[in-house]
Amino acid sequence: MVQRWFLGPGVQRKQIREGRVRGALFIPPGEGPFPGIIDLFGSTGGLVEFRASLLATHGFAVLALAYFAYEDLPDKLLELDLEYFEEAANFLLAHPKIQRPGIGVISASKGAEIELAMACYLKQVVATVCISGSNAILEIPLRYRDLLVTPMHFDWECIQIHVSGTVRLRSGNRDSRNEMNQQSVLPVEKAQGCILFIVGEKDECLNSQACAEQAMDQLKSHGRSSGKMLVYPGAGHLREPPYAPLCFASWSPALPRPVLWGGDPVAHAAAQEHSWGEIQKFFRQHFSGTGSKL
């Protein structure tokens, strides 16, 4: 799956095939250096570019990164190889128009789970925006060098079918606070940078609010004040930039039925508009004073 959006004035787009890294890099107009951000999407795979393109119009250099179901990458996501994402981070930092020493990451859903792992284990990540994500590894194991994080699995017997015929995955979520599941919980207290959690109260795919609350509790219990959480009443799981329509449910390649994402149209739209401004503000705050051209 490849999705593209328009390029803003002066923004340059370059297709990326460096080592294993596959994606598209968007560079704002000007000499730079610019804050570098990796943009990931969720379990649909492919290369999704529209958010990266939009962020580039606001002065960020953004790598829209594919990690499966694209070109010569694996067709299916059977394991999360964090070294691939580390390679992408190093590639971005080596670019002459990217400011150093660190990068930001933004993602939603499965991608937010991956980027939270990046924040925990990769020193290159200094600012992370997690949208509707889990604080634990779900369904697919995560590997990084000699480390293997085993996943929690959905309780498929508890999965509910909505009146619309869609699958309500939230009902099958395991409790990441349960002692039996601690091997899957990410050590957010090890993150060297700051993390912004963005969640909706009507997320029907994942109890992302509970996940973010646990992550915030982990940070506080270790004396860390590097986390912030934005909770939006009425907002669902799929959070896009402003003025994108609510996607209440859609087909997922991994399931035989459409997945229920949730959200009230008016409240969700308001959440998308407000959170978009907060995302930019967060990145500007954490890249300010480091030589960026914002």
Residue numbers annotated as active site: 109, 203, 237
Length of the chain: 294
Please give the Cα distance from 185 to 294 (Å, whole number): 35
Distance, in Å, from the CA atom of 161 to the CA atom of 164, rounded to the nearest integer, reads 8
Strand blocks (E) in the chain: 2-3, 12-18, 21-27, 36-39, 47-48, 61-66, 80-81, 103-108, 125-131, 142-144, 147-149, 160-161, 167-168, 194-200, 227-232, 249-251, 258-260
For residues 136-151, one letter each, b for 16 or more C-beta atoms within 10 angstroms of the residue's C-beta and e for the rest, the string is bbbbbebebeeeebeb
Residue 247 exposed, middle or buried by CB count within 10 Å (0-12, 13-18, 19+): middle
Helix axes 110-121, 82-94, angle to 10 degrees: 70
Strands 2-3 and 160-161: unpaired
Q: Enumerate residues 6+ apart whose C-beta is below 8 A from 63.
A: 16, 23, 24, 25, 26, 36, 37, 38, 39, 52, 88, 91, 92
**Hey, what amino acid is at 195?**
I
The H-assigned helical ranges of 95-207 are: 110-121
Can you tell me the distance from the alpha carbon of 276 to that of 54, in angstroms, rounded to the nearest whole number? 11
Structure-token pair, residue 29: 């107009």
